[in-house]
Amino acid sequence: MDYAERLLAWFDTNKRAMPWRNTNDPYAIWVSEIMLQQTQVDTVIPYYEKFMDRFPTIHSLASATLEEVYNYWQGLGYYRRAENLYKGAKMVDEEYGGVFPKDIDLVKRIPGIGPYTLGAILSIAFHTPVPAVDGNVMRILSRQFLIEEDISRAKNRKVFDEKVMALMPGDPNRFNQALMELGALICSPKDPGCIECPMQPGCMANHEGVTNLFPVKTAKQKVTVLTYKVMIIRRDDTYWMEKRPEEGLLANLWGFPLVPKDKFKRHVNKDWHINKLKTVSHVFTHRKWELEPLLIEFRGERALMKIIEQAQEGKFVSLAHMNSIPIGTAFKKVIKELQTYRH
Ligand code: SF4
């Protein structure tokens, strides 16, 4: 049995049932691939099903509002993915007549579709022979063939693309999925399941006992810590929330006003009545927020008006209504502290 035959035989008997595996609709595969970025399959399935019920076609997604799309994304996090999917659907609807293109150059123009997602959609939906190389695939190949190129450097991606193409049989659809599945189920980052691995007979890292040295990954980016005071401004039983800017972390989502810790003191005066809540932290890809929530009530309206006037868009929201607007996970943690404090 050659490489592909061995891998595909394993895939056919071991693949997990997933709703997007029952279709060759490129839009459905696109939605699933975007949701699966940074999120586990089991978490994605219920979100995917609800999303596809509400937005079954590219046109239905393109005709919705971004606010509604965010509502269906709530809980999945990384909202930039939802925004790009929405922009992409609008583009396909307006420029390609609502039909997902087969042409690689046309797909490359769609927002949010990088080389991996492009490969996954085209190979799964249209059986186009293109590689779909993600972290799973790089890990497997680097171990099996002792590829020493650093997987954290974008320029090395082509080494893995070429390897996939050299191994790919006439069935790119199953082959790309099988590689991803092997990485997800067997060849895991820590403690790979070599004993049950179908590819073990030809795996060089396994033969040489060096699986822990592969993949080679050196360029770790540092995580920057940013500390903010979170202003939870109360008026009666509602709290001031603002829509975040269009760019940057948690873009377009709602949250409380943030002030860098070192600049906070200059805002405060005797009109402010402040209670401290427990600090929460939230880690993004390369940034960490330390959030120090303050429950604030103003004596008199002047200080309050000053803050409200600075916001691009904002409103007072009751605790009960906070789950009906799209709020980033970092702020949801703050809301949890607020609920605990109040009860
Ligand atoms: S034998 Fe081990 S290291 Fe090699 S591909 Fe299989 S699980 Fe990965």
Per residue in 301-334, pLDDT tens?
A: 777 777 777 777 899 999 999 988 999 889 999 9
| The predicted structure's pLDDT at residue 215 | 95
Q: 124: CA distance to ligand 1 center in Å?
A: 24
Q: Which of 187, 213, 239 is the last residue of a domain?
A: 213
Judged against a pLDDT cut of 80, whether residue 226 lies above it is answered with: yes
Q: Which are the catalytic amino acids?
A: 33
Residues forming a β-bridge with 280:
291
Listed in sequence order, the residues at least 6 apart from 341 whose beta carbon sits closer than 8 Å to its beta carbon are 275, 277, 278, 295
DSSP at 194: G
Query: Is there an atom of ligand 1 within 6 Å of 140 CB?
Result: yes
Give yes or no for residue 80 having a pLDDT over 70.
yes
> Cα(211) to centroid of ligand 1, in Å?
7
| Share above pLDDT 70 across residues of the chain, in percent, rounded to a whole number | 98
Instruction: Looking at the structure, tell me whether residues 54 and 129 fall in a common domain.
Output: yes
* Arithmetic mean of pLDDT, 56-76: 95
In the predicted model, is pLDDT for residue 236 greater than 70?
yes
Q: Which residues contact 328 (CB under 8 A, 6 or more apart)?
A: 77, 79, 244, 249, 250, 253, 254, 255
The mean pLDDT of 102-123, rounded to a whole number, is 97
Q: Tell which atom from ligand 1 comes closest to the C-alpha of 199.
A: 6
Q: Is the pLDDT of residue 121 over 80?
A: yes
Question: Per-residue confidence at 26, pLDDT binned at 50, 70, 90?
Answer: very high
pLDDT tens for 246-277 read: 777 888 899 999 988 888 876 677 778 899 99
For the cut 80, the answer to whether the pLDDT of residue 132 exceeds it is yes
- Check residue 221 and give its pLDDT: 64
Round to the nearest angstrom and report the end-to-end CA distance of the chain: 65
Task: Evaluate if residue 148 carries a pLDDT over 70.
Answer: yes
Span 164-182, mean pLDDT? 95
d(CA 19, CA 22): 6
Task: Return the ligand 1 atom nearest residue 214 CA.
Answer: 3
Same domain, 233 and 187: no
Q: Is position 218 within any domain?
A: no
pLDDT exceeds 70 at position 87: yes
Domain total in the chain? 2
Return the pLDDT at 110: 97
Rounded to the nearest angstrom, the distance between the alpha carbon of 123 and the centre of ligand 1 is 24
Question: Which ligand 1 atom minimizes the distance to the CA of 193?
Answer: 7
Torsion of the alpha carbons at 126, 129, 133 and 134, rounded to the nearest 10: 10
Q: What is the pTM of this model?
A: 0.76
- Check pocket membership of 144 for ligand 1, CB cut-off 6 A: yes
Is residue 259 a contact partner of residue 231, using CB atoms and an 8 Å limit? yes
Same domain for 127 and 74? yes
Q: Is the CB of 194 under 6 A from ligand 1?
A: yes
Please tell me the distance between residue 30's alpha carbon and the centre of ligand 1 in angstroms: 29
Nearest-atom index, ligand 1, CA of 198? 6
The string of pLDDT tens digits covering residues 199-225 is 999 999 998 888 988 999 886 667 889
CB of residue 200 inside a 6 A radius of ligand 1: yes
Residue 10 forms part of a structural domain: yes
From 211, 212, 213, 214, give the residue whose CB has the most ligand 1 atoms within 8 Å, as the site to mutate.
211
| Same structural domain, 252 and 172 | no
Residue 79: give its domain's CATH number.
1.10.340.30
Predicted pLDDT of residue 316: 94
**Which structural domain, as residue segments, surrounds residue 322?**
224-342
User: Are residues 132 and 49 part of one domain?
Assistant: yes
Task: Indicate if ligand 1 lies below 6 Å from the C-beta of 136.
Answer: no
- pLDDT on residue 343: 58
Ligand 1 touching residue 206 (CB < 6 A)? yes
